[in-house]
Structure 1
Amino acid sequence: MKNPKQNKIPFIILLVFHTGLLCYSFYKTKNNKRVFTLLMSNIGFAYLLEFFVLNIFNAYKYKPRMMKKKYFDNILGAILSQAIFVPFTAVFLTTLKIGWVGKVMGGVYFSLVEFVFLRINVYQHNWWKTVYTLILIPLYLKVSDIWNMFLAKKYSLIHFMSLFLTSMVTEANILFIFASLRKIRFGFGRFHTLNEHFIIVPLYAIFYSLISTLSFLKQNNWISKLRVLVLTVSLDLLFKQVKLVKEKFHVLDYLTIRVLAILLHGKYRDWVYGGNNEVELKEIELDTKKRHYGDRLSIVIKNKS
């Protein structure tokens, strides 16, 4: 009989492998801020899809056996998949400019991983089918390419959505950590179930991230930070008053967490909306000089002829 502790081994192997892919992606690129923004956007897309596929419609179940409670263990497996394995691969293929062949091979790769996970019983299907993975993964990987192109062209809507997705992923991850530590629980009525909690949490993260993104839209300053703090604390007090949330935070601990999260969101704003980094500016300056000298050389050649 297989030792349940062995369930975590394939997840750890994939974690190490895909972390290596991400590190190589950062190493090969000159704009790490854009790569980070792309990564968080990709994770955000995956989280939104997972909200419907896993949290609401219960398509499959992960069994990494890394957490005592099965519900949290299932969500952790989904986080490893949707926040690490697939998005890290997407960033790797995008930064190395690997085309449709790589995207299709990515779909085949994750389908094979899924097949192996099913065979060794660390993952199970409810109504999901591997063919869905085979079809959807290449499309997801292509969206990463398109999003990166839009980021490079500095489209305002893409910047707004990227900041929103980055903030949403951060909020969702923070809430998962504190829920697993039994510090917070969302739900309706007297007893808040984990099923209720993980349906409400994504909506909570979306709502708060929208507030943060709109507040930091024009600039990252102390007025923006204070506005986010006042709005989020007021809403948390309202949610607590109507018993939508139960939390065990000391007031000082809660404010510290909220302030740190707001500072982090402000930093995201600088990374997403910031101008070209120093390396890019040097490249632009070099390209400009090359074009300038090239034009002068052409004029000289024409005059001699």
Structure 2
Amino acid sequence: MPKIFWYYCVVAIGIGFLIFTVIKKKDIINLLSFFLSVASLGYLCEVLVLFVLDSYAYKPGVFSDPTAENILGHLICNGFFWGGIAVFVAAFSLRAVWIAFISIAFMLVEIWFLKVGAYEHHWWKLYITGAAAFVIFTFSKKWLSALKENKHKLVRKLTFFMTAWIILQSCSVLQSLFDKQHFLIGLVQNVYRDSILFSVPYQLCVAIIYSAFVSIHNKWYYTIFPLVINLIADSLFAFLKILNFYNGWNLFYFEFIRIMGFIIFILLEKYTLLYPSPSSKNVKG
């Protein structure tokens, strides 16, 4: 059985849980928006443990380059698998005992991946996966609850900061994975790893600008400002040969995707996760 088959399986499981949740809860737009932010948390945590600390390795068997293999496994597992189940846990507000059972199930999946050679540990331990799953799922439940309670505006702003980052980073890393563009600063020899080590902090800075201006200001010129800054920064990095393009790709295509991502972010921020405040719930018509 090809190793990638098992990755397809976890994708199907994650998407299945996500579809079941949004249909059962009848809150499709909000839960899909929350899915992006909670998947972003998983991606950000794994950038540290996978690409910086080299704790384990994904082996889907698609690319010859080990870092490209890690990127693909990283996108699949932390996006659809972890993200889909995190939304399920949060939306149904599962008790700790059920979260513990799900965490054990994640450990069993990891054992199977180790057995079939689709995954390997470096210094990582199985119990860390179980503990991390329990913490992340518990946090996701409290996170969605805080959004629904709508007592602290900062929670929503931080949520859309995470959403901005995942839109920015996922578009960039997919182009890098298929050798369309790489950010290269010479920090490490592997071009995929070098690109990630630069793009992650860069996109985090851009996400701060996105979320700060879009969430705080209502005037259109304030909304456009972060995109203009982003386009200028990208152009500067291209001029300095930090942002490089390959296989017929160019800055125009890169920025077109950037603009589409920005529009998606604007729509999500303006029309999703707009839960009523506690005071408005008590007002009777």
What is the identity, as a one-letter code, of the residue corresponding to 2:59? K
Q: 1:11 Cα shift?
A: 1.1
Q: Would the alpha carbon gap of residues 86 and 36 (structure 1) be closer, same or farther in structure 2, given more than 3 Å must change?
A: same
Which residue pairs with 1:258 in the alignment?
Answer: 258
State the partner residue of 2:224.
226
Match of 1:140 in 2: 136
Which amino acid is the alignment partner of residue 254 of structure 2? Y
Partner of 2:198: 200
2 CA distance for matches of 1:118 and 1:230?
Answer: 46
Letter in 1 for 2:259: V
CA gap 1:99/1:69 in 2 versus in 1, 3 angstroms: same
Give 2:154's aligned residue: 157
Distance 2:181 2:190 in 1: 10
Structure 1 unaligned segments of length 5 or more: list them: 277-283, 290-305
> How much does 1:72 deviate?
1.3
CA contact (8 A) 1:63 1:77 kept: yes
Q: Distance in 2 between matches of 1:128 and 1:189?
A: 27
Q: Does 1:124 align with 2:135?
A: no
Q: Which moved more, 1:212-221 or 1:229-238?
A: 212-221
Residue 272 of structure 1: CA displacement? 4.2
Q: CA RMSD in A?
A: 2.4
d(CA) in 2 for partners of 1:200 and 1:255?
A: 18
Paired letter, 2:261: A
Q: Which residue in 2 is equivalent to 1:168?
A: 165
Q: Please name the residue that 1:180 is paired with.
A: 177
Could you say what secondary structure the match of 1:65 adopts? coil
When the two structures are superposed, what TM-score results if normalisation uses the length of structure 2? 0.89
Among 234, 241, 244, which residue is 1:243 paired with?
241
Match of 1:76 in 2: 72
Question: Quick one: distance in 2 between partners of 1:67 and 1:241?
Answer: 30
How many Å apart are 1:86 and its aligned residue? 1.3
Q: Give the conservation status (yes or no) of the 8 Å contact 2:227–2:259.
A: yes
Alignment counterpart, residue 84 of structure 2, candidates 88, 104, 125: 88
Could you tell me which runs of 5 or more consecutive residues in structure 2 were left unpaired when the two chains were aligned. none
- 2:59 pairs with 1:59: no
| Alpha-carbon distance in 2 for matches of 1:251, 1:94 | 39
Letter in 1 for 2:25: T
| Stretch deviating more after TM superposition (10-19 or 240-249) | 240-249
| Cα deviations by residue, 1:244-278 (Å, 9 ceiling, x for unpaired) | 221354454234223212211111211346455xx
- 1:63-121 CA distances to partner (integer Å, 9 max, x unpaired)? 11234533212111111111111121111122122211111001100001111111111
**Aligned-residue identity in percent:** 20
Once the two structures are superposed, residues 138-184 of structure 1 have per-residue CA deviations (whole angstroms, 9 ceiling, x without a partner) of 11110011101110022211111110101111111101111123221
Change (3 A) 1:51 1:113: same
Q: Is the 8 A contact 1:34 1:151 kept in 2?
A: no
Deviation of residue 137 (structure 1)? 0.9
Q: Which secondary structure does the structure 2 equivalent of 1:61 belong to?
A: strand
Whole-angstrom CA distance in 2 between matches of 1:106 and 1:29: 20
User: Hey, what's the Cα distance between the residues in 2 that align with 1:70 and 1:133?
Assistant: 21
> Cα–Cα, structure 1 residues 161 and 23, in superposed 2: closer, same or farther, change >3 Å?
same
Matched residue count: 278
Q: Is the 8 A contact 1:163 1:272 kept in 2?
A: no
Q: Distance in 1 between matches of 2:5 and 2:259?
A: 37
Q: Which residue of 2 aligns with 1:46?
A: 42
TM-aligned CA distance change 1:174 to 1:221, over 3 Å: farther
Residues 176-235 of structure 1: CA deviation (Å, up to 9, x unaligned): 111123221112249772221121121122111111111202346532343122201111
Structure 2 counterpart of 1:209: 207
